[in-house]
Structure 1
């Protein structure tokens, strides 16, 4: 089984994106500026001398100034701190976190930490607050007006994160980059967008990202402006641009949608789609001979959603969208279904990343005894999906 390539964590999907469905579940304090600002997609802005009823308007999360307990103890203790809990838009393995204090200079926290928890289902704020939390980023000094990048090596699948700041202050943005790991039981038997971020599709590589990111191609929802798509610079040679996407799992693509919405004078003239099946261990990044045609080179129209059904289906773990010669595409959608091998591979990655209690519970629900489930959970990481009960693969 071929492992997925892992680019720099900032190139991975932001699991804390509002587009994916992330939200602030709870915070103990946001008197100056709403904690929901942490999740805004655009970079934080600052407009000096712009005051509201609570003071200077800040584009971020800002808590009130902490005070001590009495005149004799006017300062907060070393442990007094504020926090905000974020439900990730998609559960997954976290590879890195960015705590950005942009524009907070005289009012940034002295230090901060990031914790994570896995809470199945649709928990209430009270259930989330009572969960067991694991340190991803231990308490660390913070600086003002700085994007602090923290790599994370914890292999566990998480659903929530908690940002803690000492003793108070403001943070502009929180980014939680990682690998989406959907529950394979939710996708079994369904047709869905195999390329979608919310299911684990990842834009692994692109020939050009001059004007905008290839990650926009498989982002949730429709693009509302040109800048929410993928656009390349103008080519001055005879080659073409492309994006390679790792699918949620090995699957059969049944229909393709190439959406050039908002690209009018800069849409590609044509596009094609190639597939690659890495189930046998090949590398799509280096094996030029392993690619096969899914969609032949097809004429595109500007500002148009092109919906194209395919006459045949062949299993693929990766696709490569080619545009000729250059230009912009708003979205790529690949309606299909997981193959048996694709679902098994996804199930294995998901199971190996679950917290132990959840892994054991999943095995019991699949028919194993408590003793058998505990023994199989302790044997992780499993190397083959055949070790999983049939109900999970």
Structure 2
């Protein structure tokens, strides 16, 4: 496999879209032959000759069907795991030889909050980072980008169809300024002394995995409950590393696609047993690292209860703040 076009120096920068950093392929208009999620998997694409499934040769990448009588292009949208300034793109067509797209383009958006994927796909204000450019099959096609804006989402478009193994989005992180300085310590981390005290259900996996260090690498590394068949909801109680003032909450549903909770709520308990609301019931999106500022409260809390509605799974829970009396 060969490198085609561009300057490779930008590839030394982090890949802002890669899966281990929380990137997610949230939408594609077609993924008939190979799943869109493969685009941001870590590591190079692999290939096993003559490995056929019901839809043909199995590819480690994203591949759409051949267009027949319907003109147009195929697109996939990636939500960056770390928003930032993009310095270069790698469109890797490894192992795609007779089925790679003749050309690609890439555009970007900066969005706040967590809008649904279908809403993002319908937007018309995408900004072009890479105009329609030819690509070569079975190659790493490199494209430097000159743009100083912060981005949260990118859209890869194939002209007109075909397959791409990996999309790498190299750049420099630019965090949301509204979230800076809200708390230097994760009060819910196992490594800091936090512990799950109880939970409503642990059918698929242990709730303590919510508090593990690092990011989950699969759905099995989070907490997942059985499907509820009543009117209740699932929950977990956590003893914090110590009484503290929580400033920022992260609810991570990474890898939970068809089984993420519809919404969640956080409440705290002070040392005298008083219950305080930290995060009101808030809608969640699948496969997303949600970060929510927590309104200041006068008293510190020593326990937190996470309610999910009605059931499902989360990869991680982070509660950033500082110890307080």
Cα distance change on mapping 1:222 and 1:116 into 2, 3 Å: closer
| Structure number, greater radius of gyration | 1
Shift of 1:130: 2.9
Residues 104 and 145, structure 1, Cα contact 8 Å, conserved in 2: yes
Is residue 129 of structure 2 the alignment partner of residue 136 of structure 1?
A: yes
Residues 41 and 166, structure 2, Cα contact 8 Å, conserved in 1: yes
Q: Which has the higher helix share?
A: 1
What aligned pairs does 1:1-393 form with structure 2 within 5 A after superposition? 8-69=9-70, 77=71, 80-131=72-123, 132-192=125-185, 221=214
Cα deviations by residue, 1:53-100 (Å, 9 ceiling, x for unpaired): 11000010000011115xxxxxxx4xx110000000011110001000
Cα deviations by residue, 1:182-240 (Å, 9 ceiling, x for unpaired): 123212241159xxxxxxxxxxxxxxxxxxxxxxxxxx82799xxxxxxxxxxxxxxxx
Distance in 1 (CA, whole Å) between partners of 2:102 and 2:182 is: 50
The alignment partner of 2:46 has SS state of coil
The alignment partner of 1:14 has SS state of coil
Distance in 2 (CA, whole Å) between partners of 1:60 and 1:14 is: 17
Cα deviations by residue, 1:113-168 (Å, 9 ceiling, x for unpaired): 01101111111112211331011110011110010011001110000000000111
Residues 102 and 144, structure 1, Cα contact 8 Å, conserved in 2: yes
Q: Unpaired segments of 5 or more residues in structure 2?
A: 1-7, 187-212, 218-325
Distance in 2 (CA, whole Å) between partners of 1:176 and 1:126 is: 22
Distance in 1 (CA, whole Å) between partners of 2:105 and 2:86 is: 15
Count of residues paired in the alignment: 183
Distance in 1 (CA, whole Å) between partners of 2:93 and 2:36 is: 13
Distance in 1 (CA, whole Å) between partners of 2:147 and 2:185 is: 29
The alignment partner of 1:9 has SS state of helix
Residues 113 and 163, structure 1, Cα contact 8 Å, conserved in 2: yes
The alignment partner of 1:90 has SS state of strand
Cα deviations by residue, 1:332-366 (Å, 9 ceiling, x for unpaired): xxxxxxxxxxxxxxxxxxxxxxxxxxxxxxxxxxx
Cα distance change on mapping 1:8 and 1:100 into 2, 3 Å: same
Distance in 1 (CA, whole Å) between partners of 2:183 and 2:104 is: 42
Which region of structure 1 is more displaced relative to structure 2, 22-31 or 183-192?
A: 183-192
Cα deviations by residue, 1:232-262 (Å, 9 ceiling, x for unpaired): xxxxxxxxxxxxxxxxxxxxxxxxxxxxxxx
Distance in 2 (CA, whole Å) between partners of 1:123 and 1:222 is: 22
Q: Unpaired segments of 5 or more residues in structure 1?
A: 1-6, 70-76, 194-219, 225-393
Residues 19 and 221, structure 1, Cα contact 8 Å, conserved in 2: no
Cα distance change on mapping 1:189 and 1:28 into 2, 3 Å: closer
Cα deviations by residue, 1:354-389 (Å, 9 ceiling, x for unpaired): xxxxxxxxxxxxxxxxxxxxxxxxxxxxxxxxxxxx
Give the 4+ runs in structure 1 shifted more than 2 A. none
Distance in 1 (CA, whole Å) between partners of 2:140 and 2:79 is: 21
